[in-house]
Amino acid sequence: MRRLAALTGLILAASLLAPLPVRAADTLPPWSENALREDVDIDALAASDEDPIEVLRPIGEELFKAKFTTLDGAGRPDATRAIVPTKARRRPSQVFQRLAGMDANGCSSCHNEPVIGGAGAFTANVFVSEGFESADFDTTDPQFSNERNTVAVQGAGLIELLGREMTTDLRRQRGDVLASARASGKPETIDLETKGVSFGSLTAYPDGTLDVSALDGVDDDLTIRPFSQKGVFASLRQFTVNAMNDHHGMQALERFGADWTGTADFDADDHGDEVSTGQISALVAFQATLPAPTRKAELPDIWQKAAEDGERLFSSIGCAACHRPALPLESLVFHDPGPFDTAGTLRQSDVDRTLALDLGTLAWVKALPRDDKGRVLVPLFGDLKRHTIADAANDTFGNELLAQRFVARDVFLTSELWGIGSTAPYGHRGDLTTLNEAILAHGGEGTDSRKAYAALSEDDQQAVIAFLRSLEIAE
Amino acid sequence: MKSLGPSLSAAVAVCAALLPAPAFANGKPASLAPVPNFVEEAEAAGIDHVYDGAWEFFVGGGTAIFDCDGDRRPDIFAAGGKNPAKLYRNESPTGGQLNFALTDSGMSEKQAQNVLGAYPVDFNNDGVIDLAVLRLGENLLLEGKGECRFEVANRALGFDGGREWSTAFSATFEPDMAFPTLAFGNYVDRSAPGSPWGTCHDNFLFRPQTGEDGKVSYPEPTRLSPGYCALSMLFTDWNRSGEAALRISNDRQYYRGGEEQLWAVPPGRAPRPYRKSDGWQHLKIWGMGIASIDLDVDGFPEYALTSMGDTKLQKLDSEADETLPIYQDIAFDLGVTAHRPYAGDDLKPSTGWHSEFQDVNNDGLWDLFIAKGNVEAMPDFAAYDPDNLLLGQWEGKFAEVGDTAGVALDRRGRGAGLADFNADGLLDLVVVNRGANVSLFRNTGRGTADKPKQLGNWLAVEVRQPGRANDRAVGARISVKTGNRTVVKDIQVGAGHASGQLGFVHFGLGVAERANVRIKWPDGDWSHSYRVFANGHVIIERDAAKAKLWYPAPASD
């Protein structure tokens, strides 16, 4: 196999000392319909001198593009899409099913606009909900499910690193206020802020108790969860394990294995331990290293001028209060597994050594601007914070009936606007065809900015659109 | 390599992947659930305490696990028999090795002697946990004064501690009562003619009475007669009626014509034993300890009863009228008979004492711990009789892992308790042994003493009713829902063997990273659903809109 050949030198050198990091299926004929062809021993890889990006990324790309088959274990006849392993009440009559899933047999069958890893059209919408017991959902009635448009993954490695740093920072502040209350013997309150983003306040008491009722835009455990439109997943790894089961019926050992379910074949499709920790790591590495969206180069003068005006207006009318142009990132080393995952997603405590993916070695990261402290400025146009985005007067974005993972129906993570010029249609349901409609759909905390936008002249509104349309995922 | 090949090779690979783990290991069913690693470190932790004494202390040897100094970390009170009972203050660093400091409880030397067991309970609703102390001689109600100091409150409460040989205790708050109703179980009446055979003492029920001056006292107790040498008792809502009945496990060694007992304790009325005409089935065992949990979450708790030989696991008979206390024994079906040692060469029956359902590997399934140990030197029973750790399995049965988990010491266990002493989310274990030092096991999860590793996700829940009687919500039920799965646990004072706990209630969450928690308060009202995240301590106060969180001081503080 290709990877095996590339690693021959390493393997020959290390074979007396350590197991091979990459294992390939040498028994498969070229015409095999198996999508799982390679696996990685992440312990051996972490212990080697090999660059994990070099090893994992191509395998991850193949897995991301793969169309999983029943030979791999695709399908989950006895399991639901639920994040916590849950038995279906009865087997679905069809393997594929657009609502309760499985609804795809490859990541890239939805994440493909304008390139692999990108967003999806309305036709690639998925339906999310918690705790599905059965596949008997044959309706799009929103009381049973929330419909979501596919988002782009480009730049997700930097997003997760920002989230990790913000989580660390918020938890440090929590520790500080608890220590302060213990020392002073009286309640102490702290306003939480990290990377310039405010997350409400915490009040600590001398006995170590904590009042979290004044938190804003973050979960009570102070974990920034930057993934999904709702902002409810902490890591690419957690999201990947969820999605592999949900969309493809490919069950990861670290969540659905015998430790946590009592069986190697929880979905009862006669394939045990379907996805290894190494294969999940490969998928994570591919997504984490996908180049971040950029700005269109070589725009016509008229568009360039309008985009520059529009960017100024974008800030002046308040959009940038949430869609922050950039957040600073201290470290570019992406450790897998990450520091804030919990049981069911591989944790750092589950391995002897983490894989250290140095995103700083990637050309597209090197090209990003840095601030005067040397921090990379991640141009995400977001704040990794959740906001109420609908109200009675403007409930376009409040069109769901179900809360998701403790997050109210009218609350969403600020969409990162980098790449927005490549990812129409817009909105969490993907049902707004123009950026103008998407901007005018803002309610709740976005009301003032929406009103300010609406009050702009036609030319100025067009300038804002020109600016947003210049933010692209390069093809 | 996974199942990568097509056709025959694929089939072979698939079959190999699906082979179950060995069904049996060392002749007993193997555990598919992860096995925690317990490390014994009593001596290093500063605990030097032996329960011992003559025949009267063949039984007892309990421990009360509760927070005596207001830091929310569980401290340990351990009975000593002829040796003085000791109180150890928990000074374990968060996530680190266990560490305890002997502290002066305020008991006199005389009061601290002849102690068989103790149960924590906040009988005066001041938020500071008190102790009911079982003794050979006068039982004591110790009022917690904070800073791990106690004062005997017998006189202030008009409580007559008696002169009996007390070996069991349970407490409940009856409706509209400011103070708890206390049940004391007694063993042999040594002064009766023919003692010890057939001379079991009556048990006592103390109900609080509020005087015209507003003071609460415990006047003359109601005698629960006949007594059959109780070694464990528990107020439990066995029939989902909202009214706790008193289940008593009795030692057949000394009674004549006795049996296991269940007493109806209707509010404001005299207690009444369930009889055969009520459906109560005659059962004679060497009843030593009760553990209760609702395994199948049908609202009707199951009861594990330790004995010599078979442990019983009683489930309300599904074919009988559910208003009748007719139980079937499912211990064999579920693999928890634990009737003889699982390790060593001794095939004689074993002797079970304290029992407790907890989740030691945080997989979301209840596990059962049983302290084991020969009464003294009974030749017909196993001499080497290691404690059991029976891990719940997803198929509904239990698998013995005491040896691989590291708890199979050659000691005569008696009372015990599982609690998270170092606030790392893994339940540790303390066992009081007869004639040997207390065993204190640190749960290091999947790791080692030097490098502990977490198992599943977890949640610790404290429930309070500020400003009301029954501040600690004894009788409340905590319901924890993850995905579509719900587990429940009641807040109870009683059961085990002379050992009780009060404080955070521990739940394993498996791979769930969040949970919905609801409380059924002692008066029957349900709370709204509290949304909480895994791997933390939460405090739910009645009527509070949101749960509070609690964080232990970091190890460096």
CB contact under 8 A, B17 and A264: yes
Cβ–Cβ under 8 Å, residues B510 and A343: yes
Q: Are A310 and A316 in contact (CB under 8 A)?
A: no
Nearest residue on chain A to B539, alpha-carbon basis: A209
Nearest residue, CB atoms, A255 vs list B20, B485, B511: B511
Distance (Å, whole) CA B421 – CA B194: 45
Contact A464, A314 (CB under 8 A): yes
pLDDT of residue A399: 76
Whether residue B33 lies within 8 A of chain A, CB to CB, comes out as yes
Q: Are residues A449 and A314 in the same domain?
A: yes
Instruction: Select the residue of A207, A213, A276 nearest B2 (Cβ to Cβ).
Output: A276
Chain B (501-520) residues lying within 8 Å, Cβ to Cβ, of chain A: 509-514
Please determine, for residue B490, whether its predicted confidence score (pLDDT) is greater than 50. Answer: yes
Going by pLDDT thresholds of 50, 70 and 90, the confidence category of residue B5 is very low
Residue B137 dihedral angles phi and psi, to the nearest 5° = 120, -150
CATH number at residue A459: 1.10.760.10
B479 part of contact set with chain A, CB < 8 Å: no
**Same domain assignment for residues A308 and A392:** yes
- Is the pLDDT confidence value at B183 over 80? yes
Q: Is B12 on the interface with A (CB under 8 A)?
A: no
Instruction: Over range B387-405, report the average pLDDT.
Output: 97
Residues from chain A that touch B455, judged by Cβ atoms under 8 A, are 343
Question: Which of B513, B539, B550, B551 to mutate to probe the A interface, most A CBs <10 Å?
Answer: B513
Same domain (yes/no): A453, A466 = yes
A260 contacts B6? CB cut-off 8 A: no
* Chain B nearest CA to A407, separation (Å): 10
Task: Decide if A133 touches B, using CB distance below 8 A.
Answer: yes
pLDDT at A135: 54
Q: What is the DSSP string of A256-305?
A: HSHHHHSSS-TT-SS--S-B-HHHHHHHHHHHHTSPPPEE-SS--HHHHH
Q: What is the pLDDT of residues B503-555, one digit of tens each?
A: 999 999 999 999 999 999 999 999 999 999 999 999 999 999 999 999 999 98
A contacts of B447 (beta carbons < 8 Å):
349
HSE at residue A375, side-chain half, CA atoms within 13 A, is: 15
Share of chain B above pLDDT 70, in %: 95
Cβ-proximal residues to A111 (8 Å cutoff; 6+ apart), any chain: A64, A117, A118, A119, A120, A150, A152, A153
Closest partner residue to A23 (CB to CB) among B1, B484, B550 is: B1
A71 and A179 both lie in a single domain: no
- Beta-bridged to residue B253, according to DSSP, are none
Residues of chain A contacting B511 with CB distance shorter than 8 Å: 84-85, 255, 260, 342-344
Q: How far is A206 from chain B (nearest CA, A)?
A: 10
Average pLDDT, stretch B85-106?
Answer: 98
Phi first, then psi, for residue A186 (nearest 5°) are -140, 160
How many beta carbons lie within 10 A of that of residue B261, not counting itself? 24
- In a domain, residue A281? The reply is yes
Q: Which residue of B has its CA nearest to A221?
A: B533
Evaluate the CA torsion angle B8, B12, B17, B20 in order and state its sign.
positive
The answer on A298 and A280 residing in a single domain is: no
Q: In which region does residue A399 sit, left (phi positive, over 0), alpha (psi from -120 to 50) or beta (all else)?
A: alpha
Q: Say whether residue A23 is in contact with chain B using an 8 A CB cutoff.
A: yes
Cβ distance of B14 and A262 shorter than 8 Å: no
B549 touches chain A (CB under 8 A): yes
CB contact under 8 A, B557 and A84: no
Q: Which residue of B has its CA nearest to A341?
A: B513
Residue B22, pLDDT > 80, answer: no
Q: Which of A27, A133, A344 sits opposite B4 (nearest CB)?
A: A27
Contact between B551 and A86 using a beta-carbon 8 Å cutoff: no
Q: What is the pLDDT of residue A403?
A: 73
Does A258 share its domain with A398? no
Whether residue A350 lies inside any domain: the answer is no
Q: What DSSP element (H or E) covers A177? A: helix A156-184
In a domain, A369, yes or no: no
* C-alpha span between A100 and A409 (Å, rounded): 20
Task: Check CB contact of B453 with chain A, cutoff 8 Å.
Answer: yes
Shared domain check, A141 and A27: yes
A340 domain-assigned: no
Contacts of A72 in chain B (CB under 8 A): 3
Q: What is the mean pLDDT of chain B?
A: 94
Both A48 and A105 in a single domain? yes
State which residue of chain B sits closest to A37, comparing Cα positions.
B4
Q: What percent of chain B has pLDDT over 90?
A: 92
Residue in B closest to A27 by C-alpha: B5
* ipTM, 2 dp: 0.93
| Residue-range definition of the domain harbouring residue A204 | 157-211
What pLDDT is recorded for position A405?
A: 74
Q: CA of A278, closest CA in chain B: separation in Å?
A: 11
The whole-number pLDDT of residue B6 equals 33
Select the residue of B33, B457, B531 nearest A342 (Cβ to Cβ).
Answer: B457
Given phi > 0 = left and psi -120 to 50 = alpha, else beta, which region is A371? Answer: beta
User: To probe the interface with A, which of B367, B511, B535 has the most A CB atoms within 10 Å?
Assistant: B511
On whether residue A349 sits in a domain, the answer given is no
Q: Is B534 near chain A, with CB under 8 Å?
A: yes
The string of pLDDT tens digits covering residues A382-425 is 999 999 999 999 988 887 777 777 888 899 999 999 999 999 99
Chain A to chain B Cβ contacts (< 8 Å): 156
Q: How many domains does chain A have?
A: 3
CB burial of residue B390 (10 Å; 0-12, 13-18, 19+): buried
Find out whether A444 and A388 touch, Cβ atoms under 8 Å: yes
Task: Render pLDDT for B288-299 as a digit per residue (tens, 0 to 9).
Answer: 999 999 999 999
* pLDDT by residue, tens only, chain A of 475 residues: 344 333 333 333 333 444 567 877 778 898 999 999 999 999 999 999 999 999 999 999 999 999 999 999 999 999 998 999 999 888 888 889 888 889 999 999 999 999 999 999 999 999 887 545 555 555 666 667 788 999 999 999 999 999 999 999 999 999 999 999 999 999 999 999 999 999 999 999 999 999 999 999 999 999 999 999 999 999 999 999 999 999 999 999 999 999 999 999 999 999 999 999 999 999 999 999 999 999 999 999 999 999 999 999 999 999 999 999 999 999 999 999 999 999 999 999 999 999 999 999 999 999 999 999 999 999 999 999 999 999 999 988 887 777 777 888 899 999 999 999 999 999 999 999 999 999 999 999 999 999 999 999 999 999 999 999 999 999 8
Q: Residue A13's pLDDT is what? A: 37
CB contact under 8 A, A343 and B362: yes
Let me know whether A171 and A141 are in one domain. Answer: no
Report the distance separating Cα B394 and Cα B396, nearest Å: 5
Judged by CB atoms closer than 8 Å, whether chains meet at A261 and B394 is answered as yes
Q: Does B94 touch chain A (CB under 8 A)?
A: no
Are A422 and A453 part of one and the same domain? yes
Domain-embedded: residue A218: no
Q: Say if B484 is an interface residue toward chain A (CB within 8 Å).
A: yes
- Is residue A183 less than 8 Å (CB to CB) from chain B? no
The residues pairing with B526 across neighbouring beta strands, listed in sequence order, are B520
pTM: 0.94
**Is B533 near chain A, with CB under 8 Å?**
yes
Give which of A37, A40, A84, A261 to mutate to test B binding, by max B Cβ within 10 Å. Answer: A84
Regarding whether A279 and A169 lie in a shared domain, the answer is: no
Give the residue-averaged pLDDT of B327-356.
96
Q: Does residue A38 lie within any of the structural domains? A: yes
Position B2 pLDDT exceeds 50: no
Judging contacts by C-beta atoms under 8 Å, the chain A residues touching residue B533 are: 219-221, 223
Pick from A332, A310, A319, A322: nearest CA to A377: A332
Question: Is A433 found in the same domain as A308?
Answer: yes
Listed range (A132-141, B286-295, B378-387, B457-466) with the worst mean pLDDT: A132-141
Give the mutation candidate from A78, A210, A225, A275 for the B interface (greatest B CB count, under 10 A).
Answer: A210
- Look at residue A12 and tell me if it is in a domain: no
Q: Determine whether the interchain pair B6/A32 forms a contact, defined as Cβ–Cβ distance below 8 Å.
A: yes
Note whether A207 contacts B551, CB cutoff 8 Å: no
Run of H or E residues at B429: strand B428-434
